Amino acid sequence: MSEDVAIVTGASGGIGRAIVKVLNEKSAGELRIGIHYKGNAEAAKALQSEIENSFLVQADLSTARGRGVLLEAALKEGNPYILVNNAGIDKPHEPALNIQEESIDLILGVNFKTPLFLMRDFAKEMIKSGSGIIVNVSSILAKKALTGSAVYRASKAALEALTKQAAFEWGPKGLRVNAVSPGFIETAMTEAIAESTRNLIRQEIALGQFGSAESVALAVAHLIENDYLNGAILSVDGGMGL
Ligand SMILES: NC(=O)c1ccc[n+]([C@@H]2O[C@H](COP(=O)([O-])OP(=O)(O)OC[C@H]3O[C@@H](n4cnc5c(N)ncnc54)[C@H](OP(=O)(O)O)[C@@H]3O)[C@@H](O)[C@H]2O)c1
């Protein structure tokens, strides 16, 4: 029997790396974990050296070719059982009056089109084996306004709608599809936020601080472990969305 494979996209980034570590710990090394990256080979290789039962996949997932490379790699290594659509971008930040067509193509390409087609293609394989779990990484900004985040917000709101639709259509086929919705988390994505802006953001968070990548990873693991969660959007935002 082939081994169960868990693919984590964007595992060279802060949240993806934490997800890989938590999945490896929770499965006691039983899951074969695909560590995907686009450009940051150094971070991906460093992570792989810590995770014995893992393999690396380099791909630009905004292209059909890159998505094909990821699916082929998963099939070669075993049975695609878990897909975590974590790769994402939040830039450029443009006020709504200045939105450029290129920004729509770029941000929706990575944050919405990529998970959509990965879900479609991985789901077809999962349905063949009768089970599979997909977790998408959304954002608190799907439901909250922040100047400069219109396109990012739209991409994540669309991802949440897609999560529920897929949960509805594929639940009867043995699949579960959920999403995690992080607030402000300490990673490369947020490291350039000025201290003055951080203070303003902290005032909006009930717990008064940014979250850790591990807190998001633990929520992803919960969505995977609890077999009656389907179509759920789990907030991990310290109470920012209240
Ligand atoms: N940090 C936060 O506060 C926060 C809050 C809410 C939601 N999120 C979401 O959490 C997810 C992870 O974010 P993060 O904070 O960990 O960001 P990060 O550290 O910047 O990591 C982003 C990851 O996405 C990958 N990536 C970017 N463009 C790609 C493409 N075209 N094809 C394939 N992979 C691509 C990057 O790969 P390379 O670096 O290898 O190129 C990297 O691994 C994202 O979906 C983000 O929207 C983050």
Provide the CATH number for the domain around residue 191. 3.40.50.720
Q: List the domain range (segments joined by +) for residue 30.
A: 4-233
The answer to whether the predicted template modeling score (pTM) of the entire model surpasses 0.95 is yes
Q: What is the CA radius of gyration of the chain?
A: 17
Look at residue 242 and tell me if it is in a domain.
no
Q: Identify whether 241 is part of a domain.
A: no
Residue 12 forms part of a structural domain: yes
Beta carbons of 100 and 108 less than 8 angstroms apart: no
**Is 209 a domain residue?**
yes
18 assigned to some structural domain: yes
Catalytic residue among 37, 81, 152, 228: 152
Count of domains forming the chain: 1
239 found inside a domain: no
Would 240 be classed as within a structural domain? no
Mutate to test the pocket of ligand 1, among 12, 151, 153 (most ligand atoms within 8 A of CB): 12
- Residue matched to tokens 């868990």: 6
- 81 is known as an active-site residue: no
Which residues, listed in sequence order, are joined to residue 15 by a DSSP beta bridge? none
Ligand 1 atom nearest to 210, measured from its CA: 3
Q: pLDDT tens per residue, the chain (242 residues)?
A: 689 999 999 999 999 999 999 999 999 999 999 999 999 999 999 999 999 999 999 999 999 999 999 999 999 999 999 999 999 999 999 999 999 999 999 999 999 999 999 999 999 999 999 999 999 999 999 999 999 999 999 999 999 999 999 999 999 999 999 999 999 999 999 999 999 999 999 999 999 999 999 999 999 999 999 999 999 999 999 999 89
Here the tokens at position 32 are 């074969």
On whether residue 211 sits in a domain, the answer given is: yes
Closest CA relative to residue 7, chosen from 65, 62, 76, 63: 76
Which residue, among 107, 241, 111, 232, has the nearest Cα to 183 in the 3D structure? 241
